[in-house]
Amino acid sequence: MLAIPIVRSVGNLTVVLSAECLELFVSLIGITMIIPITKNEHNTEIREIIFGKKISYILTVITRLIVAFIIVFLMIVIYAIIMQKLNSEFPFWSFVIATTFLAYFWGLLGLLMSEISRNSIVGYLSAFGYYSLISFGFLTSSNFMYLLPITDGSLSMPIFIKLVIVNIVMLFIILLIAKKEKI
């Protein structure tokens, strides 16, 4: 997030450019904050220690997810406040909420793939792969798989609802996998 002002300006942006900045750059914080949540448990020796504890593994994963979700939300809010202080124009809360759920999507997609494969690299590659499909124009707003709700400068409610549903489904699957985890 600190490199975004170097790559592109974050001040004096129009609504469309603010949406692009938040969606295509700021939302990527979900990848770095959420995917590594279960990285250590992919190592067999650490799994034995963690699963030998009194606290259940699912409770540990839920706690880590809640903390990561709160941190991601706060980071996006702070970044959006900075953008508005630098005279960027956009509807604050609708863009912040949409960007937050998109950040959750990037992170949950990677976390799901890393849990299925038991390899964090696969998680990072899947999240960045989907991001690349959008960045290079292979997925456009007319495609069913397109999940960026504010790129055109206004919040698209059908895409946002689809994004929330996909997040809930991925979170549910991740928690099911964590619940069934054994040494």
Tens of pLDDT, residues 2-18: 667 666 777 888 899 99
Q: Is residue 2 part of a domain?
A: no
- Classify residue 1: in a domain, yes or no: no
Q: Please indicate, yes or no, if residue 45 is contained in any of the structural domains.
A: yes
- What pTM was computed for the model? 0.92
pLDDT at 183 over 60: no
Distance CA 9, CA 13 (A): 8
Q: Cα separation of 171 and 152, whole Å? A: 27
The beta strands (E) that lie in 31-161 are given as: none
For 121-135, the pLDDT digits (tens) are 999 999 999 999 999
Nearest to 69 by CA among 95, 39, 101, 94: 101
Query: What is the rounded distance in angstroms from the CA atom of residue 14 to the CA atom of residue 67?
Result: 32
Task: Pull the structure tokens for residue 59.
Answer: 């409770």
SS3 assignment for 148-183: CCCCCCCCCHHHHHHHHHHHHHHHHHHHHHHHHCCC
C-alpha atoms less than 13 angstroms from C-alpha of 16 in its C-beta half-sphere: 1
Task: Provide Rg for the chain, Cα atoms.
Answer: 17
Provide the pLDDT for residue 7. Answer: 66
> By residue range, what is the domain housing residue 58?
8-180
Residue 17 lies in a domain: yes
pLDDT digits (tens, 9 = 90+) for 15-51: 999 999 999 899 999 999 999 999 877 777 776 777 6
Residue 87 Ramachandran class (φ > 0 left, ψ -120 to 50 alpha, else beta): left
**79 is a domain residue:** yes
Query: How many domains does the chain divide into?
Result: 1
Instruction: Assess if residue 3 is contained within a domain.
Output: no
